Structure 1
Amino acid sequence: MNKHYTVGQLAALVEGEVIGDKELVIDGFGPLDAAQPGQLSFLAKAGGREALEKSAASAFLVPHDFSCEGRALIRVRDPYLAAAIIQNELLRRPFVAAGIHQRAVVGADCSLSAEISVGPLAVLGERVRLGARVSIGAGAVIGAEVSIGDDCVIHPNVTIEPRCRIGNRVIIHAGTVIGSDGYGYATDRHGNHVKRPQLGIVQIDDDVEIGANCCIDRATFGVTRIRSGAKIDNLVQIAHNVEVGENSLIVAQVGLAGSTVLGRNVVFGGQAGAAGHQTIGDRTMVAGKAAVHGDQPPGSMLAGVPAIPAKQWFKAANLFGKLPDLAKDLRQLKKEVAALREKDEPSS
C-alpha cells in the first residue's frame, strides 16, 4: 500500500519552500521523463526547465531560485539530497519480524531479540547477539560471539567471522566477508612464508553501509574499524588494522593496505589505492585509479600514479597526450640546430 503525503508535509521533511498547492497529495516518486500524476520528481539544475515542463509529475523539487508558473514546486537548497530524503520516507515500511526459519541453524547460548528475521540456511554460531529488528538473509554465516546492533540488514551469503562487532542501522550487502584473516606473513631465510596469526577483530560502527563482495580483514592485533556513517561500494578490499573515518566514501574496487588511517569525510574514487601505514587527513579527495603513498594533510586533492596534487597531475596528463607532437618538434629542432652548426663551422 502506497503512502500518501501532501506537498506541504514533504516540504517540511526537507526544509523546503512550497510554491503552489500545499495540499496536493503525493504517493510516489519518479524521474522527470517517466513520473506519473500523483508523483513527485526533481530538477537538480535550472537548465532542465524544458524537461520539467513536459513532465507529468504533480510536483517537483527544484533549486531555491527556480520558478515555473502553474507548477507545484518545493524549493530547496539541494534537490538531489532532498529527493533522497523523500524517497527514503516514501519507501520506509515497518519492520515485520519473520522469526527464525526452520532451516536456519542457531548455535548455543545466543542472545536474540524477539524482533528478528533469520532466513533459510543462515547459520548463527555460539553466543551470537542480535539486537532488535535485525534481518539476516538466506545463507548468511554469523560466527561465534559476533554482536549485531539494532535495525541492521545482513543480506544473503554475507559472512561475519567470529568476535566481530556490528553497530546499529548497518547494511551489509550480499557476498561480503567481514573479519577474514589479514594478509600477514614472515619470510624465512629459505624464502618460505610463515603465516602471522591474525588475532584482532573488525568493528563496524553505526549507520555504515557496505556493498556486495567486499572484504574487510580482521586486525593482526586490536581492531580494523569502519567508523560511523561511512559508505563502502562493491568490491572493496580493506586490509588489517585499517581505520576508515566518519562519513568517508569508498568507491568500487578501492584497496586500502594495512594500517592505513583515513580521517573524516575522505573520498576514494573507483580503483584508487593506498599503501600501508599512512595517515590520510580529513576531507581528502582521491581521484579514481590514483595510488597514494605517504601521509596526506587534511583537505588534499590527489590524482595520478603515484598520487600528487590533482591540479599538477591534470596538467601533466594533458602534456602526456601532446608528447608525440612535442617529440616531433624536438626532432625537427635538433635537425635545424645541427644544420646551423654545420653551416657555421669553418671549411677546412
Structure 2
Amino acid sequence: MRAWPLAELGRRLGVRVVGDPDAIVSRVQPLDEAGPGDLSFLHNLRYVERAANTKATAILVGEGVALPGHNLLVCDEPYLMLARALKLMMPGPKFKAGIDQSASVDDDVVLGDGVSVGAQAVVGSGTRIGAGTVIGPGCVIGSGVTIGGDCLFHPRVVVEPGCRIGDRCIFQSGVVIGSDGFGFATVDGIHHKVPQVGIVVVEDDVEIGANVCIDRATLGETRIGRGVKVDNLVQIAHNVVVGEGSLLVSQSGISGSTKLGRYVVMGGQAGVAGHLNLGDGAQVTSKTAVFKDVPPGAIVSGVPARPRGEWARSQAGVARLGKMREHLKELHQRLKKLENDDD
C-alpha cells in the first residue's frame, strides 16, 4: 500500500493542507478506528467530538472546521473528496482481460478491448460488450444484448435477451435485468400470461444494488435514466420509466407503467402503484404508499401518501390520543358526578 505525503495527496485531490505537509498516510479509516498513518474524514458535524479525539494522522474536513492539533485536508465537499481519496489510495481489484476457459461465449459475440469475462459466465449470440467492461463469474448475458464500456458486473448478474446497457454502469450480485413483467389477463378465474416482448434500457452511469429486479416491458421499453442509483432489493416493474439522477432506496417498489421524473427520491420500503406520474424532484419518504400522482418537488409521507406537513400534523395528533382519552374519561366522570348530585 502506497504512502502518501499530505502535500502530494492534497495536490492530487485539489484540497488545502493545514498542518504538517510531510505527514504520511497510507489508508482511509473511520474516525473511531483510525490510527497513525491513517486518513479519516468528517462530513457530518455531529461527529466533531469524535474527530477531536481521533488518532488519525489527518482528517478530511469542510471549510470552516477547526480541529486544533490535527492535520487537516480542507475542501468544500468532504464526502465527495472521501470518494476520490478512496479511489486514489485504496483502488479496487484489477481484472485480467480475456475470457476464462470455463466461460461460454458465442462465436459471434463482439468484445471490445480489455473486456474480462469471468469463470462460468455465459454470453449469448449477437451480444456486444464495450471496451473495459468486466463480466464477473457466473453472470448470464442473453442473446442480442448491448453493453457499453467500462461497466462492472459483479458475480451472478443476469441480463435477459435484447436489453441495452449504457457505459460505466455497475451491477451488484444477483441483479436481474429483463425478467418478465407481471402481466396476466384473468378470465373466468384463470390467469392467462401476457407475453412480455419489450426490453429494458439502462442508460449511462447507473448503479444497481444486489438482488434488484427490473422487468422487461410488455411492449416497448422499461427505462432507467442516466445516473440513477438503485439500492439493494428494489423491484421495478414493466414499462416503468425512472428519470435521470433518481435515487431508489432498499426495498422500494414501483408498479407497472409508472413514470418517475428527474431526481426523484424514494425512501426505504416505499411503494408506488401503477400508471402514475411522480414529478421532477418529488420525494417519497420511507414506508409511504403512493396511489395518485405526485407533483414536482412535493414531499409525501404515509399510507395513503399525503403532503409531509399534513402527515406530520396527523401523526402528532395520534401521539396525543392517549392523553386525550384520559382527559375525556375524567370529564365523563365529572359530568356523571354532577348529574348524580342533581338527582
Report TM bin, short chain. Answer: over 0.9
Displacement of 1:335 after TM fit?
4.5
1:217-232 superposed matches below 5 A? 217-232=215-230
Determine the C-alpha separation between the residues in 1 that align with 2:48 and 2:235.
42
Identity %, equivalent residues: 46
Displacement of 1:128 after TM fit?
0.9
Displacement of 1:165 after TM fit?
0.5
Is the 2:212–2:234 contact (alpha carbons within 8 Å) kept by the matching residues of 1?
yes
1:198-209 superposed matches below 5 A? 198-209=196-207
Partner of 1:107: 106
Letter in 1 for 2:60: L
| Alignment gaps of 5+ in structure 2 | none
Displacement of 1:136 after TM fit?
1.0
Is the 2:249–2:269 contact (alpha carbons within 8 Å) kept by the matching residues of 1?
yes
Letter in 1 for 2:260: L
Is the 1:97–1:133 contact (alpha carbons within 8 Å) kept by the matching residues of 2?
no
Is the 1:14–1:76 contact (alpha carbons within 8 Å) kept by the matching residues of 2?
no
Partner of 1:196: 194
Partner of 2:171: 172
Displacement of 1:249 after TM fit?
1.1
Is the 1:95–1:133 contact (alpha carbons within 8 Å) kept by the matching residues of 2?
no
1:268 aligns with 2:266: yes
Partner of 2:291: 293
Partner of 2:131: 132
Distance 1:50 1:340, change over 3 A: closer
Displacement of 1:246 after TM fit?
1.3
Displacement of 1:160 after TM fit?
0.5
Determine the C-alpha separation between the residues in 1 that align with 2:298 and 2:117.
44
Is the 1:99–1:117 contact (alpha carbons within 8 Å) kept by the matching residues of 2?
yes
Is the 2:302–2:311 contact (alpha carbons within 8 Å) kept by the matching residues of 1?
yes
Determine the C-alpha separation between the residues in 2 that align with 1:4 and 1:243.
46
Is the 1:18–1:74 contact (alpha carbons within 8 Å) kept by the matching residues of 2?
yes
Partner of 1:235: 233
Partner of 1:7: 6
Determine the C-alpha separation between the residues in 2 that align with 1:118 and 1:35.
37
Partner of 2:59: 60
Determine the C-alpha separation between the residues in 2 that align with 1:241 and 1:13.
44
Letter in 2 for 1:123: V
Distance 1:140 1:93, change over 3 A: closer
Partner deviation per Cα, 1:131-179 (whole Å, 9 max, x = no partner): 1111111111100001111111111111100000011111111111100
Determine the C-alpha separation between the residues in 2 that align with 1:208 and 1:284.
19
Partner deviation per Cα, 1:87-135 (whole Å, 9 max, x = no partner): 1232336854331111111124111123111111111111111111111
Partner deviation per Cα, 1:274-315 (whole Å, 9 max, x = no partner): 011111112222111000121111111111111111122122
Is the 2:62–2:74 contact (alpha carbons within 8 Å) kept by the matching residues of 1?
yes
Displacement of 1:213 after TM fit?
0.8
Corresponding residue pairs, total: 343
Determine the C-alpha separation between the residues in 2 that align with 1:246 and 1:92.
27
Determine the C-alpha separation between the residues in 1 that align with 2:194 and 2:49.
62
Is the 2:101–2:119 contact (alpha carbons within 8 Å) kept by the matching residues of 1?
yes
1:61-100 superposed matches below 5 A? 61-92=60-91, 95-100=94-99
Partner of 1:305: 303
Distance 1:326 1:47, change over 3 A: closer
Is the 1:45–1:63 contact (alpha carbons within 8 Å) kept by the matching residues of 2?
no
Partner of 2:243: 245
Indicate the SS of the match to 1:175.
coil
Letter in 2 for 1:238: I
Determine the C-alpha separation between the residues in 2 that align with 1:73 and 1:139.
44
- What TM-score, normalized to structure 1? 0.91
Letter in 1 for 2:104: V
1:11-50 superposed matches below 5 A? 11-12=10-11, 15-46=14-45, 48-50=47-49
Distance 1:46 1:137, change over 3 A: closer
Indicate the SS of the match to 1:67.
coil
| Alignment gaps of 5+ in structure 1 | none
Higher alpha-carbon deviation: 25-34 or 226-235: 25-34
Distance 1:146 1:322, change over 3 A: same
Partner of 1:142: 141
Partner of 1:119: 118
Displacement of 1:14 after TM fit?
5.2
Distance 1:64 1:134, change over 3 A: same
Letter in 1 for 2:162: R
Determine the C-alpha separation between the residues in 1 that align with 2:329 and 2:182.
50
Displacement of 1:46 after TM fit?
4.5
